[in-house]
Structure 1
Amino acid sequence: MTRLLPGIAAMAAIVVASNILVQFLFGQWLTWGAFTYPLAFLVTDLMNRLYGPSEARKVVIAGFVTGIACSLVGTQIMGEFGPLVTWRIAIGSGLAFLTAQLLDVAIFDRLRAGRWWRAPLASSIVGSAVDTALFFTIAFSATLAFIEPSNDVSWAGEILPLLGVGPAVPLWVSLAVADWGVKLALAVIALVPFRAIVKAKDPQVA
């Protein structure tokens, strides 16, 4: 378990930082949290490559528990428009994180025998897509308003051009597409530290 402590600490730090930074906007479609959260996939993939899927899942669970704690704290902190974290956001965040990260672990494990970059890239891309789709749909889609009827998310359903230039879609769809775009970019960029850290730990692994 001791060998997992760096991974657990890194995952917890990413989850906490992302929960804080998501409160701050970056441009029109993103928050600063969009740039830190995807690093969770890097941590999961490193743990998977170095120690295997079982150990990687333990790190994921640690991140999930940390996320639950952050969400519970956020629901008790009142901002200008209500709690910093609504129950829909808390549920969406938790389900998206756990589902996407466990899927990442499974895909990575299936592809680990291929070229060194295939497993982390494919697992991160698929995991990111699932994470984004689950979170934004649960948190903001009008069809799931029954989850938290008292939470008015009508602002997220405003019909606007996709990312300001595309076809007309609900605002939350643009937010989701922008978020996924960042995740895709970071999935590629993360291959550099992934390769460097794996080679430093064990030159024979990848």
Structure 2
Amino acid sequence: MFILSSTQARRCLLLLVSLHILVIAASNYLVQLPFSLFGWHTTWGAFSFPFIFLTTDLTVRLFGKEQARAIVLRVMFPALVISYVVSVMFPKGGFAGLGALSEWNLFVGRIALASFMAYVVGQLLDITVFDRLRRLRAWWVAPAMSTLLGNFADTFAFFSIAFHHSPDPFMAANWPEIAWVDYVIKLGISLVFFLPLYGVLLSGLSRWLVGVTGRDDKLPEQAGVRP
């Protein structure tokens, strides 16, 4: 059990919020870059978004369910704005310049809105499932089930809102296939690579956050952190 001072707790929150925003913004941009994998249509966002579930589970472990929900709600507006600005200024890997922001981009706007809705649904489900199951003796059940259900809700909410009747003909025609392939890739990354090292990874990240934020012994201890 780690004990955080109030200063450490604030710094940990800042780092976690920043990490949430970074992964969301990167994923919203990368999802606009489709490619074929073994003949199936997918996007590069499938490889970045699993990190948000790891970040969410870390947040629950450090601060508990209620604080994790507050963080999810706190990051959405800045993530929405940053995602839109980055995607409009750098369409499909190119640089359009600041002038691109002068006109509303419906395609990117739908992606940002879809991300907002899907992230809230997926992460709140992930938080609820992980918090209820993490006390079981079988440690792997909580991260496995929260990843399975959270990714499913997030993936299909996002793709249906963003690309159903999209102005992009390719994404409009192929989004169901892309959603399924993205979901399988996310599960593969999460369950094959993250899950075997899950306990070590979360414990290491917890210790790193405690160390990097520094200890202020003059302030009262306020937050417990389970390793």
Q: TM-score, normalised by structure 2?
A: 0.69
CA-to-aligned-CA distance 1:158-202 (integer Å, 9 cap, x gap): 4xxxxxxxxxxxx21111111101111122122245311333447
Match of 1:17 among 10, 16, 26: 26
Partner of 2:71: 59
5 Å matches for 1:122-133? 122-133=145-156
Contact 1:71 1:90 (8 Å CA) reproduced:
yes
Contact 1:21 1:32 (8 Å CA) reproduced:
yes
Aligned residues: 184
Give the unaligned 5+ runs of structure 2.
Answer: 1-9, 93-103, 208-224
RMSD of aligned residue pairs (Cα, Å): 2.8
Partner of 1:199: 203
Contact 1:49 1:205 (8 Å CA) reproduced:
yes
In structure 1, distance between residues paired with 2:27 and 2:154: 14
In structure 2, distance between residues paired with 1:26 and 1:186: 18
SS at match of 2:167: coil
5 Å matches for 1:63-82? 63-73=75-85, 76-77=88-89, 79=91
In structure 2, distance between residues paired with 1:205 and 1:197: 13
In structure 1, distance between residues paired with 2:56 and 2:176: 27
Partner of 1:186: 189
Contact 1:44 1:59 (8 Å CA) reproduced:
no
Contact 2:88 2:108 (8 Å CA) reproduced:
no
Contact 1:75 1:87 (8 Å CA) reproduced:
no
Contact 1:198 1:205 (8 Å CA) reproduced:
no
Calculate percent identity across the aligned residue pairs.
34
Contact 1:19 1:70 (8 Å CA) reproduced:
no
In structure 2, distance between residues paired with 1:33 and 1:42: 15
Q: TM-score, normalised by structure 1?
A: 0.76
Shift of 1:74: 5.0
Cα 1:175/1:53, change in 2 over 3 Å:
same
In structure 1, distance between residues paired with 2:105 and 2:81: 15
Higher RCO (CA 8 Å, separation ≥ 6 residues): 2
The reply on whether 1:118 has 2:130 as its aligned counterpart is: no
In structure 1, distance between residues paired with 2:195 and 2:69: 20
Partner of 1:168: none
In structure 1, distance between residues paired with 2:85 and 2:51: 22
